[in-house]
Structure 1
Amino acid sequence: MDFPKISHHGGARGVTGSCHQLHLDASHSLLIDCGLEQGAGAEQDGEIAPIRFDVTNIQALIVTHVHLDHVGRIPALLAAGYRGPIFCSEPSARLLPLVLEDAYKLGISTDPVQVDRYLALLRRLIVALPFEQWHPLVVQEGVVCSIRLQRAGHLLGSAYVECDVRYPGVQASKRIVFSGDLGPASNPLLRAVRSPERADWLILESTYGDRLHPDRTDRQLRLEAAIDRALADNGTLLIPAFSLGRTQELLYEIEDVLHRKNLLNDSNGKEQGDLDLGVDWARLPIILDSPLAQRVTQAYRDLHEYWRCEARERLGQGRDPLGFGQLVCVDTHARHQQVVNYLKSTGRPAIVIAGNGMCSGGRIVNYLKAMLGDSRHEVMFVGYQAKGTPGAVIQACENAQGFVQVDLDGQFHEVRAKVISLGGYSGHADQAGLVDYVAGMPYVPQKIILVHGEKRAKFALADALMRRFANEQVRPGISIAQ
């Protein structure tokens, strides 16, 4: 039998642009993700590449999660004529229009009429599916494909997709699993990923297939220590962060730090460390300066039923981990400029979280222009900085001696502010987590196809999987997508 078979339209040779087509027969297929290529060799920032494959036989698009490298080409898919359903989890159905509205305005048009028309079409096509329930897609008489979404632990609403395909005259179905992006077990907001009960074929991400993450158990303590140190000089702690996922994790952990600090302050006056530092934790403003991050954070708050148990318990204690009293949300550009000027000219400590995460655009750039030249301030990186971005240049200044400058919007700025990188915030499973995901299945997959990773990461993960199953009676066939 020639079917099922898989075509890769992105995410095969690199980390971004995930787009995989599952051909069920000669005239029916499913598309899993439709992501934007990012980084070196991709389209210019914000531009959306046209669809270069036939969309006429695609019965449904299934979205694993709403990061742009998995959904950013949906506008182009619609422009190519696709009008089928867009299946995703219930949280993703809430988040997807927020993310794609931003992408549409950046890459296609800001005309309000066009934006509204596009969003209306998008909302008509989105079909929200509950986790852990099969949804049948009858392709044609005798051929049936059902899909099920399972939590992937990468982002609120993120899922891996199980496709169960049954052909006439064939007793056993074929189970094909697309991992999407898998998260680490230690995300404080999300429920941990569980391995599939079965996968004949597994299309597996390999982003960090060649490395292990640092220990995450003391991540919050290291965050607290970094805040203490940064605020000692009555300066501003600048945290460049992407709007979706990373920002919400940071807010969640900062709220916990503030909660403990404030409890100590209430019972004992100022902490001994605060007496030395002159920091009033109870009045420390946490400034979220990103309109998109604010909308996403509100959606996270509304979707608290999808949080992990420990996070929901905080709500039961009367706390609001993503909407606490010291959180200041900056909406308009005028207000943003006021805040930048105020923090630059005063000595009041503050924490600012602003996009974008690599300092290549967004409101964080204005903060950097105003504060990089002052040693009172500190820039904290909690995510990967791509080579050649301003964030990577600033990050390289950590512990550097001497005169360093960074180009921001065509002007060079001297870096005198302190710089620190805080590990442990990756949203992806590392090599051990990916191997455990496969090893946790009751039966070894017949075939594993590695995608969504650089070549080195894929080969390292393939080697780790072969070593893990070397002594098993049944071993998977492992291939690397091209």
Structure 2
Amino acid sequence: MQEVKTVARTQEKEKDKIEISQYILQKVPREAEVTRIEYEGPMLAVYTKRPEILVDQSSIVAEIVGVIRKRIVIRPDPSVRIPEVEAEKITRELIAPEAEITDINFDPSLGEIIIETKKPGLVIGRNGAVLQEIIKKTKWRPHILRSPPIKSKIVTHMRHYLHSESKERERILRTVGERIFRPKTYDVGDIRLTVLGGAQEVGRSCFLLKTRESSVLLDCGIHPGSNRPFESFPRFDSPEFQMDSLDAVVISHAHLDHCGLVPFLYKYGYDGPVYCSAPTSNLMTMLQLDYLDVANKQGVAQLYDQKDVRECVLHTIPLRFGVVTDIAPDIRLTLHNSGHILGGAMVHLHIGEGLHNIVYTGDYKFGRTMLLEAAATEFPRIETVITESTYSGPDDIVPSRVEAEEAITKVINQTLERKGKVLIPVPAVGRAQEIMLVIDGYMKRGMMKEAPVFIEGMISEATAIHTAYPEYLGREVRHSILHEEVNPFQSDYFTIVDHPRQRSSIMDGDPCIVLATSGMLEGGPVIEYFKTWASDERNSIIFVSYQIEGTMGRRVQKGIGEVTMMDNEGKMVALSVKMGVNTIEGFSGHSDRRQLVNYLTHLSPKPERIFVVHGEKQKTINFAGFLDNKAGINTVVPAPLETFRLL
């Protein structure tokens, strides 16, 4: 019986595809010479021997999209693409030298020639004339990128890897497309939410959304502050979770408590897509590889390896903010800015034809910062919201950004005046770049004492990724990089620490400021500086980000006078903490209590129900009660492994 159903579904799918293909062929000019129409991830790819015709007549494609309600991309047929070496030569001849091309790469799986240039406008040409010539003469479709001020190793390596595995990438995209556009077996309904992690705690965020037809995972993180398996990783032992029925994984942002366990899924057989923003894809890969490196150095068992991270790269489909994308037969996804870190997204899921709409906030900041714009508040429809609540306690009212900037300036100035050194543990992504902007700005204005600022660990690579995506940054920084050609991340005050051997001279040298990972003193180069400077009361450590319960950072932040650490010979020693310990609130990428309330009460449209997650247990309970009573919104505090029927 099951075999009969499978055959019937396959036949129905082929019928739908044939009908769509026939409609497209009717609308497309015959001279475009369409060779085939394929599902390609969440899009339909139309392969043609003369792609320039359809690119030039974009209104035809727009009309087709309006009717079939599926995204379409025009691909040059592989049979007409000229060899890459020749295509690059022709492309360079067509583009004026003034455009300052910095790199040219190819993506055979998409038929794209990727052109990095300092002046994209000159590559595009008036009304796209240069692009048209490139398509016509090379039969490769140009993808224009602005050259980043700082070159990213991760971005470069990921492009090269995708190029080398283009055939496998093609297979993955076809498989994903076939699964997305399969015929529905059931009517839409029975929408269920299961908590696999991230409820009444901060860490291992993971939520499973299921309908009768589909299964989608929202985030898949680890708990940095726990060593107990049932508390460190999502509860994949839940009977609701079945790997072989998983349609998609959606990642809100690149912090490890939201994406650290995604490669684990590929190790155990998942072959489906991961959806996230383009910056998140790069940052996620960087942090996952670093997670493996730190685990290896600490002798901790690794749940996955670099091969699994590479599988994650191959299966990741980056999306732009605001683009509606089919990810399952009955679910559409749209990402919106969350204001938390670069590429951080709020996840909007549209289920059925207007049947139910969910906003999963991930982590968010409802307030502009130097680095990013505030979180988006307007959505087409909302019935259910799943919100973080990290700083949702009644006393979690943080100072304004200006007050925070003045506070960190005061601590730095006082420390430097007494000939001390300043250590600022930061996550490589987000807070590091924010603090860099503050230090650069205040030193330039003469409000902060000038001193060498050393950038340690992955911060420089993360910063390079930031400069690769200026369109995701706050308007002032974006304008500075794009239009004034001034990159504040390359300030003369900053010195990148390229090798560990440089540390001894920094640690023993003159007063300075060091920004180093990790932000919670759980490994990384910050540990070396902390061990050397902790016992000197002239020095200061400044915490500017959230310290998860159970981490070394949390213990030091609470005022512990002595910590046990491993010395350079591998022996455990007691370390006296006499340096000044400062916590500067206001730099967090999370919203405080007021911002959370303002955000949730200003959402448009008003939600019917709110699930409060990603917060310490008592805070989530208190916050849910407040929202329920004061805002008049049905609010729930879920527990791990609980399942809720949304419809």
Could you say which TM-score interval applies, normalised by the shorter chain? 0.7 to 0.9
Residue 120 of structure 1 corresponds to 310
Q: Within 5 Å, which residues of 2 pair with 1:77-476?
A: 77-107=265-295, 117-139=307-329, 144-166=330-352, 172-197=354-379, 198-210=381-393, 211-261=396-446, 281=450, 284-290=451-457, 292-315=458-481, 316-335=483-502, 339=503, 341-346=504-509, 348-387=510-549, 389-397=551-559, 404-409=561-566, 410-470=572-632, 476=633
Does residue 20 of the first structure (1) align with residue 20 of the second (2)? no
Change (3 A) 1:3 1:85: same
1:429 is displaced (CA, Å) by: 1.0
User: Residue 366 of structure 2 contacts residue 599 of structure 2 at CA under 8 Å; is this kept in 1?
Assistant: no
TM-score, normalising length: structure 1 = 0.83
User: Residue 239 of structure 1 contacts residue 380 of structure 1 at CA under 8 Å; is this kept in 2?
Assistant: yes
SS in 1 for 2:445: helix
SS in 2 for 1:161: strand
1:12 is displaced (CA, Å) by: 1.9
Residue 267 of structure 1 corresponds to none
SS in 2 for 1:102: helix
Change (3 A) 1:250 1:406: same
SS in 2 for 1:218: helix
Distance 2:530 2:310 in 1: 37
Distance 2:585 2:314 in 1: 40
Distance 1:57 1:392 in 2: 39
Distance 2:542 2:431 in 1: 13
1:352 is displaced (CA, Å) by: 0.6
SS in 2 for 1:194: coil
Unmatched segments (≥5 aa) in structure 1: 265-273, 399-403, 471-475
Change (3 A) 1:394 1:121: closer
1:106 is displaced (CA, Å) by: 4.0
SS in 1 for 2:335: strand
User: Residue 204 of structure 1 contacts residue 449 of structure 1 at CA under 8 Å; is this kept in 2?
Assistant: yes
Of 414-423 and 240-249, more deviation after overlay is shown by 414-423
Q: Which has the higher contact order (CA 8 A, sep 6+)?
A: 1
User: Residue 628 of structure 2 contacts residue 634 of structure 2 at CA under 8 Å; is this kept in 1?
Assistant: no
- RMSD value over aligned CA atoms? 2.7
What per-residue deviation string (whole Å, max 9, x for no partner) do you get for residues 146-187 of structure 1?
1100111111111111111116xxxx4311111111114032
Residue 269 of structure 1 corresponds to none
Q: Greater Rg, structure 1 or structure 2?
A: 2
The one-letter code sitting in structure 2 at the alignment partner of 1:56 is D
Of 15-24 and 324-333, more deviation after overlay is shown by 324-333
1:37 is displaced (CA, Å) by: 2.5
Change (3 A) 1:129 1:190: same
Change (3 A) 1:9 1:387: closer
Distance 1:173 1:7 in 2: 19
Residue 638 of structure 2 corresponds to 481
What per-residue deviation string (whole Å, max 9, x for no partner) do you get for residues 308-358 of structure 1?
1122233344432222122111132223xxx3x324434x22101112222
Of 372-381 and 239-248, more deviation after overlay is shown by 372-381
User: Residue 36 of structure 1 contacts residue 72 of structure 1 at CA under 8 Å; is this kept in 2?
Assistant: yes
Change (3 A) 1:397 1:30: closer
Distance 1:204 1:38 in 2: 20
Change (3 A) 1:2 1:218: same
What per-residue deviation string (whole Å, max 9, x for no partner) do you get for residues 94-120 of structure 1?
21211111223445799xxx9553343
1:216 is displaced (CA, Å) by: 2.5
Change (3 A) 1:389 1:177: closer
User: Residue 423 of structure 2 contacts residue 513 of structure 2 at CA under 8 Å; is this kept in 1?
Assistant: yes
SS in 2 for 1:175: strand
User: Residue 365 of structure 1 contacts residue 408 of structure 1 at CA under 8 Å; is this kept in 2?
Assistant: no
User: Residue 390 of structure 1 contacts residue 407 of structure 1 at CA under 8 Å; is this kept in 2?
Assistant: no
What per-residue deviation string (whole Å, max 9, x for no partner) do you get for residues 235-269 of structure 1?
211112221211111111111112212xx9xxxxx
Partner of residue 33 from structure 1, selected from 219, 235, 245:
219
1:85 is displaced (CA, Å) by: 0.8
User: Residue 358 of structure 1 contacts residue 386 of structure 1 at CA under 8 Å; is this kept in 2?
Assistant: yes
Partner of residue 3 from structure 1, selected from 190, 195, 206:
190
Of 178-187 and 460-469, more deviation after overlay is shown by 460-469
Change (3 A) 1:149 1:333: same
Change (3 A) 1:379 1:35: same
The one-letter code sitting in structure 2 at the alignment partner of 1:28 is S
1:218 is displaced (CA, Å) by: 2.1
The one-letter code sitting in structure 2 at the alignment partner of 1:16 is G
Distance 1:444 1:455 in 2: 25
**Percent identity between the aligned chains?**
27
Distance 1:389 1:37 in 2: 10
SS in 2 for 1:157: coil
1:302 is displaced (CA, Å) by: 1.6
